Amino acid sequence: MLKINRANLKKSHQTIWLTIDFLMLGLLILNLSLIIFDSIYAFSAIEGFLADHVPGFQAFYDPIHENFLFYDLIFVGIFLTEFFVRWGYAVKASVYDRWYFYPFIHWYDLVGCIPVGSFRFLRILRVISIIYRLHQYKIIDVTSMRVYKFVNFYFEAFMEELSDRIVLKVLSGVQQEVKRGSPLFERIQNDIVYPRRSMLTDWISGRVAQAAQEGYVPNRGALRSYLEDRVDHALKQNLELSRLKYLPVVGPQIQETLEEAVGDIVANVIHQILEDLASASNHAFIEDIVNVFIPTPDDSAEETPENQAVINLILEILDAVKTQVQVKHWREDLP
């Protein structure tokens, strides 16, 4: 059941025009109902059925049917009067930049007023425009109507099916382009990635430095203790080094000194590497790595197993996307 929000009607400061909308909506529904009934009445079988079973109604409606254009023109006159009144108000209130914009913007109001054949049914456009305007002002809530929920559900299902087919078609086309060789991969690498190599270097360098500063610097002591313990454990498991303790007098001392020295060297090397990564000096190191992964176009012109591996990876990713696209989410909401 459609409910009217009277509070929002008062707040809109458009009470008069919205009241006219309700009046026009009622007249449009009545007019369209008469048009539909008259179209059905035009069949001789229907007219004969009414003459046999409801002769009084048939005798009453037959003159209306014969002069239906006259009665329809009464409705058209009312609709046109309301149209010109709104046009005059739009000009006076400067709703649009030019006075002649109104009939072009509200063309559906004029087309529906043509009292000829199927043009009459275009008045449904005016019904939709009025309902939309009332919904926009929150006078009515169309989304709460069962008819809207029913139509919207199948409309969303149709749009999902249509969009899924389009996306699958596009992805399949991309896969075909990739399978033809590696021109797409080379174009991405040479025309998109390679010109931005310096930007990627700067970004990766900054991210590595930030990660090293936030991850290593606060835990420097704990990491050093961990490395020394691991190195000490590894040295004790070494058979050759364990034989040093059998040397007379100096054997155990040499073994202990070596363990401490190796542990200190490893910890200092790791410390220096992470210190370099946490500073701006990592830029050259990162740049060398980026240059290896993104070589110049001349170096990557020939087909390589790495390129083919990347192409296969792209194809598998597209297959995964296609599989996900094929999932029909609208069926989950189907009663």
What is the C-alpha separation between 32 and 46, in angstroms, rounded?
A: 19
Residue 143 and residue 148: Cα distance in Å, rounded? 6
- Residue 238 confidence (pLDDT): 65
Residue 30 has pLDDT above 90, yes or no: yes
pTM over 0.75: no
pLDDT of 83 reads 92
Q: What's 281's DSSP letter?
A: G
pLDDT digits (tens, 9 = 90+) for 37-61: 988 988 888 888 888 888 888 888 8
Which pLDDT value is given to residue 46?
Answer: 87
pLDDT band at 305 (very low <50, low <70, confident <90, very high): low
Which pLDDT score, from 0 to 100, does residue 195 have? Answer: 79
Q: Please provide the average confidence, as pLDDT, over all residues in the chain.
A: 78
**Cα separations (Å) of 84 from 89, 103, 156, 268, 292?**
9, 9, 37, 88, 73
CA dihedral 69, 75, 76, 82 (to 10 degrees): 170
pLDDT confidence of residue 7: 74
Once rounded to an integer, what is the mean pLDDT over residues 243-261? 65
Question: In this model, does residue 130 exceed pLDDT 60?
Answer: yes
Could you tell me the maximum CA-CA distance found in the chain, to the nearest angstrom?
134
Say which amino acid occupies 41: Y
**pLDDT of res. 217:** 65
Looking at residue 290, its pLDDT comes to 73
- Residue of higher predicted confidence among 88 and 190: 88
C-alpha–C-alpha distance, residues 300 and 306, integer Å: 10
Q: What are the tens digits of pLDDT across the range 52-100?
A: 888 888 888 888 988 988 999 999 999 999 999 989 988 998 888 888 8
pLDDT at 127 over 70: yes
Distance CA 154, CA 11 (A): 34
